[in-house]
Amino acid sequence: MSNPLISVVVPITRYELELPEALHSILQQTYQNLEVILVDNHATAGSRTVAKQWQEKSPNSIRIVTEETRGACSARNRGILESRGEFVALLDSDDRMKPDRLEKQLNMFLCDNSTSLVGSWFDSISPDGLSVVDKDNKPSIPRWGKMLFRGEPRWDSDPFYEPLTSTFFFKKSDAQKIGMFDEKFNPIWQEDTDFSFRLYEVGAVRIVSESLVDYRIHNASDGIRRIFDPGVIVNHDVLFSKLRDRYFKRESKDSRARFESLRSRWLRESGVKLMYYKEGLEIGKVMVKRAFRGDPFDIKNIETVIRTALPQKFHPKAFGVSVNLEVKLPGFVTHEWAQRLFSLD
């Protein structure tokens, strides 16, 4: 379509079995003035084949572009830059849209010119896509936001509700205004939080109170990877640094206390994750001790530091998961690295 109002950006790397469902859900939208941009980001051969087949069936609606830099940020940025629509909707290649998603999000956006991002509720679906596992999941206020901004005039009246990435709907011009996705977060983790919060900084984030997307849950090993990937810790540190640079007021006791509390929490949670790795045990303890020194009156810090001094069977477990990770940690995970994380300097 030569003059679409909406561009739907779908990065593709894998999920060749799920991609047809994603594309079918887009092409069956009740709102049809749209284009689909598939971003080949080192996609598997099977995913490329599926993308090409769908592009050949719908050449006026589907375009394929390539992004050589690996990562969700780079892939989404390429799709946004290549888009011809005034509005951009994101969808991951293993998720699906409900038929009226784009129509309802567009209508909400047009009702308020202060809007910078529209999200929605979503349904969690099984790996095979045949059943709903959890219906009407609502975006929540992130804990770090409450810690840093509770009591601020705007936050108290209009807090930031963080939408699922596959529900993002925004203006291309607004994405460009805030500098697009920050590629420091490549390949993945926290990039969506940073992007949506920067949109919140310049406008209003609205949520359609209805599930407009099916979010696919994968197997248990994928869930373990998402929780314990050291890249999550790295990108939490990137996010912390960006929040510090924008909001930390060194001369303010209140600001320092808020950031110290957040730093302590993220150090504790990150340290506990590393303790699941055989070679990460001692490094994790270093981070837990730093968390305790930063906020010695936090009851969770007290409990965690005591339990880490006991035999390993008593150590705290993250997210209720009981598993010992035998895979090797990346070389950057050292005691020196753990001492530098979440710096306020």
* Structure confidence at residue 270 (pLDDT): 96
pLDDT of amino acid 30: 98
Query: Mean pLDDT over residues 119-139, rounded?
Result: 97
**Strand bridging mode 34-40 / 62-66:** parallel
| Tokens describing residue 300 | 């969770």
Q: Which of 4-18, 273-287, 321-335 has the lowest mean pLDDT?
A: 321-335
Whether residue 300 contacts residue 288, with contact meaning beta carbons closer than 8 Å, is answered with no
- Range name among 86-95, 170-179, 219-228, 244-253 with the lowest pLDDT average: 219-228
Q: Give the model's pLDDT for residue 285.
A: 94
pLDDT of 314 reads 82
Cβ within 8 Å of residue 302, ≥6 positions away = 292, 296
Does position 121 have pLDDT exceeding 90, yes or no? yes
Residue 160: the pLDDT is 98
Residue 70: per-residue pLDDT:
97
Q: Is the pLDDT of residue 183 over 70?
A: yes
> What average pLDDT does the segment 115-119 reach?
98
Distance CA 114, CA 220 (A): 41
Q: What is the DSSP letter of 123?
A: E
pLDDT for 278: 83
pLDDT band at 219 (very low <50, low <70, confident <90, very high): confident
Per-residue pLDDT, 1: 60
CB 329 within 8 Å of CB 279: yes
Can you tell me the distance from the alpha carbon of 101 to that of 81, in angstroms, rounded to the nearest whole number? Answer: 22
Residue 62, pLDDT score:
98
pTM metric for this prediction: 0.95
Measure Cα distances from 276 to 19, 163, 222, 330 in Å.
Answer: 34, 29, 16, 14
